[in-house]
């Protein structure tokens, strides 16, 4: 299982890369491995307003469909449209192939997320 330093992580296995007031969001290596072969990504609409904990996207695999939760509140300003035709990119590299970018309303919400070491420990306990 690959965990990238410098990102924030959720208990639902999303990662967040902070770029100023933007939160770039995807799913972790642990999540893509648990899902298996990803066959479809239902992306949210840019311009949608989300609250932390909302599920604006869905990733479907040969095993299951899984909601993707926004770890932060704000406005979705961009989605990774490459995933519409090539959802398997998430399996190939989940940290390069993000799902959405949210312009954060309250960057303080990031304080509730885990760092890489905490997330690794969390995954060990879950396994």
The enclosing domain of 71 has a CATH number of 2.40.50.100
Quickly tell me which residue has 């770890």 as its tokens: 71
Quickly tell me which residue has 């890369």 as its tokens: 17
Looking at the domain assignment, is residue 54 inside a domain?
yes
User: Is residue 98 within 8 Å of residue 80, measured between CB atoms?
Assistant: yes
Looking at the domain assignment, is residue 59 inside a domain?
yes
The distance of Cα 105 from the centroid of its chain, to the nearest Å, equals 18
Looking at the domain assignment, is residue 25 inside a domain?
yes
Instruction: Give me the number of domains the chain comprises.
Output: 1
Q: What is the mean pLDDT of the chain?
A: 96
Question: What's the pLDDT at 127?
Answer: 78
How far apart are alpha carbons 20 and 30 in whole angstroms? 26
pLDDT (average), residues 119-124: 96
Q: Which domain holds residue 93?
A: 8-106
Q: What tens digit of pLDDT does each residue of 60-115 get?
A: 999 899 999 999 999 999 999 999 999 999 999 999 999 999 999 999 999 999 99
Question: What's the pLDDT at 40?
Answer: 97
- pTM (2 decimals)? 0.96
Q: Across-strand partners of 59? A: 41, 66
Looking at the domain assignment, is residue 38 inside a domain?
yes
Looking at the domain assignment, is residue 19 inside a domain?
yes
């Amino acid at each position: 299982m690959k965990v990238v330093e410098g990102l924030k992580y959720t208990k639902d296995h999303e990662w967040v890369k902070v770029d100023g007031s933007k939160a770039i969001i995807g799913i972790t290596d642990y999540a893509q491995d648990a899902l298996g072969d990803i066959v479809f990504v239902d992306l949210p609409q840019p311009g949608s307003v989300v609250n932390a904990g909302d599920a604006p996207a869905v990733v479907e695999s040969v095993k299951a469909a899984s909601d993707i939760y926004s770890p932060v509140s704000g406005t979705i300003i961009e989605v990774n449209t490459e995933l519409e035709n090539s959802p398997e990119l998430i399996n190939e590299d989940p940290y390069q192939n993000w799902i959405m970018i949210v312009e954060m309303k309250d960057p303080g919400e990031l304080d509730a997320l885990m760092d890489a070491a905490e997330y690794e420990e969390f995954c060990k306990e879950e396994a």
